[in-house]
A and B are shown apart, each in its own frame.
Chain A
Amino acid sequence: MTLVDHHVADLPGMTLHTIETTKYKTTSLILQIKSPITEEEVTKRALLPYVLQSGTERYPSSKELRAALDSLYGATLGVDLSKKGEYQIITLRMDVANEKFLSDNTPLLDRAFALLSQVLLKPAKQGEAFLPRIVQKEKRSLKQQIESIYDDKMRYANKRLIEEMFEEEPYRFNVYGSKQEVDPITPETLYDYYQKVIKEDEIHLYAVGDVSKDALQELAKKHFEFPQDRTEPKRTSPSGKQRVDEVKEIFEEQEVQQGKLHMGYRTYITYSDPEYLALQVFNGVFGGFSHSKLFMNVREKESLAYYAASRFESHKGIIFVMSGIETNNYEKTVKIINEQLEEVRNGNITDGELEQTKAMIRNQILETVDDSTGLVEVLYHEVVSRHKRTIEEWLEGIQNVTKEQVRDVSQKIQLDTIYFLKGRGE
């Protein structure tokens, strides 16, 4: 038995992925729309999904569209923005109850497909522009969302680290764009951009639920009709420094109780590389779990922090370390973190650490695919990287990683930037 019953079909304008499973009481439809992140378009692209979810030709206001969703037993429509490598990805997600669990037998899935397709392909418009009323509201809301990053100090510190570390690479842009770029957007320019998205972006639809793949394919064909003149999607070419000459250290002060320490490392390894699995194990030994070196030393041994962890970005090849500490413990903490990386570089990894890490990663992968959002996230790696790796191959690959491979990977990794948001007057 395979873990995931995943089928791919190329339809005109998009690729359909169907995953048949009896795990859920709802069916999820997830549209992933991908394009390189660029300075000119990042903010428009951030605004677009919020405008799309605010009205369709048939339901030209958010209120009417939401009422239609509520009537479908609370079908949910949500949008999301993410950055994977140097792509900015728009996600439109609809989730609808499976009729099997209701006392009512309305064909909900058919209507959900129709509605999602209308949100993407038949937006509310007048002439060649979105409705000014909608665009104006969503512009204000986007500005507020951009501002709110500042209010969540962990997110803010992460954003600042990225801006500093990738000063000269497109990866520096935040997925929500920048506040000053919001105002110049008009209903016309946004609609122009939207048409470009529909013609040029790479679009994938994932359908997950207790429905046969044939039925899902029928529904997708019936409801999604793209313009004829679609062009080949754009791809990014890898960019970025190939080595770090000097570690950048950035300090900023605010009235916070706890200092936020964020460190960025370049690994030069991404999802499609053979060393990717060893990198994943490295991250687990270093800071991914509660048995990892960072947690054990920064928290358990020294009581310096409540959290001290690392995580990695699969397509840009970056590791981030984060910890919340007293401002005056900065030097001590950085020293301990550096020592932990040095330990791995010297091959000081116990058998226990290695086995524990592998067991945890295995567990994490299997748990992730139990959840429809997590599953789509995992499958989508293949699209972004154009590299196929089944869940089974992934699990087996992790099992085969050796201590030496982890050590070798750690020797390639370089600290690039340290960002510290510190408290005032201490």
Chain B
Amino acid sequence: MEQIHFNQLKETLNHKTLPNGLKVYILEKKDFNKTYATFTTHYGSVDNHFVPLGKQEKVKVPDGIAHFLEHKLFEKEHGDVFQDFSKQGASANAFTTFNRTAYLFSTTGDVEKNLTTLIDFVQAPYFTEKTVEKEKGIIGQEIRMYDDNPDWRVYFGLIANMYKNHPVAIDIAGTVESIAKITKDDLYECYNTFYHPSNMLLFIVGPVDAEKIMDLVEKNQAGKDYKDQPPIDRFFEEEPAEPANRKEVLHMPVQTPKCYMGYKEKRPQRSGKDLLVRELSINLLLEMMLGKSTKNYEKLYEEGLIDPSFSFDYTEEMGFGFSMIGGDTTDPDTFAQRISEMVNEFKQQSLNEEDLERARKKKIGSFLRALNSPEFIANQFTRYEFNEMNLFDVIPTFEELTVKQLQDALNDHFQDSQLTVCQVKKKQS
């Protein structure tokens, strides 16, 4: 077992890659009551076009299938695994993102038993036509719930604006129509392709003994018969650099309109250190442009264009990336215009050293705060690892970012040609 020490943070991460390819990470947090574990496959809603394991031809699967599979994996011949966890004093859950599906539990009781349950249930699919049909009603209501949520709609509406071909534009849960087509055979095909241990990561954080836990996981995996699997062939059509659609207006029963805008990344192909530098740079620049301590934020607030719901973020993964700025606003058109003016004005000036240092400190402090949460550590570590980055490099990378790197990112990312807007306006009835 390898031990990685992060001295400044006073943390030690234990790691091992098992013979079947499964990556296991354990972080001891002796003061906590709770242990939190996530078992994650590098497979999400964007992986809808691939060559299934053991086949030659690529297939395209129905929208929403990764999320559907996540729901169905909990059901077994003996019943629902949720119940097994709660009998063992743990609460279980799962979530599907664009490129990950994570299964998790938290417990203050028997960690070893619950961890075994987690690993075993994810590694033993049981899909039948009957249970697949039953789930369609439940997921149908989940989709309707999100359809009524204006924040969700405007966020995903903006992403849909950006992408012409990339499946990130498709709703993670699919649509009522697309999930109607899903069969148990589709689920098995996706499962067999994407749930091999070599495509997965297990993260455990809590008051545990790392050696004991590692031993348990190793024995568990050694008892299962996994054949080596070749790398997965995933297909993505070529994506134009510019946004597919410049502007979209959704009409919903709301009192306060919403406006989200974003810049589509032209070459979202980074990974590892490059990606880390990129993400942190753009997030730092957004803070300097529009953070609460800036002149711009003050102006927008005074002009009545923003309220406390205002936020911004930059994210990038293999094949897609974008910055996003938005919130509730009484005047969504002026909002979009003012922000884009402010971004352009910021680009004209040289970076102010004092503002940069302040934003850097703020970001470092926020990251330390995030590390208070075991959930954040496990989920983000996994996301970073799948993109060949290390979560614990964030602080040193923030400390090392140079003005030159920031200036380059600023000029490269924030271009008018990449800008797109999505708004929710009041439905006139």
A-side residues, CB < 8 A to B, are: 3, 21-26, 61-64, 66-67, 69-76, 95-98, 100-103, 133, 137, 140-141, 144-145, 147-148, 150-153, 254-258, 289-291, 299-300, 303-307, 324-326, 352, 355-356, 359-360, 362-364, 366-367, 369-372
Q: In the complex the two chains form, is B363's CB within 8 Å of A74's CB?
A: yes
Residues of the B chain whose Cβ atoms lie less than 8 Å from the Cβ of A23: 29, 31-32, 372
A421 CB to closest chain B CB (Å) equals 10
Instruction: Give residues in B with beta carbon < 8 Å to A.
Output: 8-10, 29, 31-34, 80, 82-83, 86-91, 106-109, 134-139, 141-142, 144-145, 147-151, 252-256, 291-295, 297-298, 301-302, 304, 307-309, 328, 330, 358-359, 361-366, 368-369, 371-374, 399, 427, 429
Kindly identify which residue among B87, B134, B359 contacts A352, using a CB–CB cutoff of 8 Å.
B87
A146 to chain B, nearest CB (A): 9
CB–CB B148/A257 < 8 A: yes
Question: A25-B369, A145-B308 given as contacts; is B294 within 8 A of A291 (CB)?
Answer: no
Given the complex of chains A and B, what is the CA–CA distance between A25 and B373 in angstroms?
Answer: 10
CB distance from B259 to the nearest CB of A (A): 13
- Smallest Cβ-Cβ distance to B302: which chain A residue: A137
* 28 A-B pairs with C-beta separation under 8 A: A25-B369, A25-B372, A62-B292, A62-B298, A70-B361, A74-B364, A97-B365, A98-B368, A101-B9, A101-B10, A101-B368, A140-B304, A141-B308, A147-B255, A148-B255, A151-B254, A255-B253, A258-B141, A290-B86, A290-B91, A303-B134, A303-B138, A324-B144, A326-B144, A359-B86, A360-B86, A362-B109, A371-B373
B87 CB contacts on chain A under 8 angstroms: 352, 355-356, 359
Q: Are A370 and B32 in contact (CB under 8 A)?
A: yes
In angstroms, Cα B370 to Cα A97, docked, is 11
Establish whether residues A305 and B141, one from each chain, have CB atoms under 8 Å apart when the complex forms.
yes
User: B150's closest neighbor in chain A, by CB?
Assistant: A151
Alpha-carbon distance between A251 and B145 when the two chains are bound, in angstroms:
19
A21 to B147, CA, bound (A): 43
Q: 9 tightest A-B contacts by CB?
A: A74-B365, A303-B137, A74-B362, A66-B293, A73-B365, A359-B89, A366-B108, A258-B144, A306-B142
Which residues from chain B contact A257 at a C-beta distance below 8 Å?
A: 144, 147-148
CB A62 to nearest CB in B, in angstroms, measures 7
In angstroms, Cα B91 to Cα A21, docked, is: 25
Chain A's nearest CB lies how many Å from the CB of B281?
A: 17
Give the residues in chain A near B142, CB-CB below 8 Å: 306
Residues A150 and B254 in contact in the complex (CB < 8 Å), given A70-B358, A141-B308, A306-B141: yes
Check if B293 sits within 8 Å of A69, measured CB to CB. Answer: yes
Q: Considering the chains assembled together, what is the distance between the CA atoms of A256 and B429 in angstroms? A: 13
Closest chain-A Cβ to B149's Cβ sits at a distance in Å of 7
A residues within 8 A CB of B134? 303
Most A CB contacts (10 A, CB to CB) among B135, B141, B374 go to B141
Q: Note all chain B residues with C-beta closer than 8 A to A140.
A: 304, 307
Knowing A303-B138, A363-B90 touch, does A369 contact B8 (C-beta < 8 A)?
Answer: no
Given the complex, which residues of A lie within 8 Å of B8, measured CB to CB? 101-103
Contacts of A300 in B (CB 8 A): 80
Contact between A299 and B138 (Cβ–Cβ < 8 Å)? yes
Q: Is the CB of A291 within 8 A of B86?
A: yes
Q: Is the CB of A74 within 8 A of B361?
A: yes
Chain B residues within an 8 Å CB radius of A102: 8, 364, 368
By a CB distance below 8 angstroms, the chain B residues around A366 are 33-34, 108
Is the pair B83, A356 in contact by a Cβ cutoff of 8 Å? yes
The answer to whether A70 touches B254 (Cβ under 8 A) is: no
Shortest B413–chain A CB gap in Å is 23
Q: Which residues of A contact B297 (CB under 8 A)?
A: 63, 66
Query: Bound state CA distance, A137 and B364, in angstroms?
Result: 30
What CA separation (Å) do A217 and B90 show in the bound complex? 37
A258 and B145 contact, CB distance less than 8 A: yes
Report the minimum CB–CB distance from B250 to chain A (whole Å): 12
Q: Cβ of B32 and Cβ of A148 under 8 Å apart?
A: no
- Please, which residues of chain B bring their CB within 8 A of the CB of A95? 369
Known: A101-B8, A258-B141, A363-B109. A66 touches B291 (CB 8 A): yes
Q: Contacts of A69 on B, CB cut-off 8 Å? A: 293, 362
- Residue picked from B256, B374, B429, most chain A C-beta under 10 Å: B256
Quote the shortest CB–CB distance from A153 to chain B (angstroms). 5
Residues of chain A contacted by B32 (CB below 8 angstroms): 23, 370
* CB-based contact B372/A372 at 8 Å: yes
Task: Give the CA-CA distance A275 to B20 in the complex, in Å.
Answer: 53
CA distance A75 to B362 in the complex (A): 7
Shortest distance between the CB of B75 and any CB in chain A (Å) = 9
* A306, chain B: closest CB distance, angstroms: 4
Also in contact, A63 and B362, with CB within 8 A (given A101-B8, A359-B109): no
Pick from A72, A153, A255: contact of B429, CB under 8 Å: A255
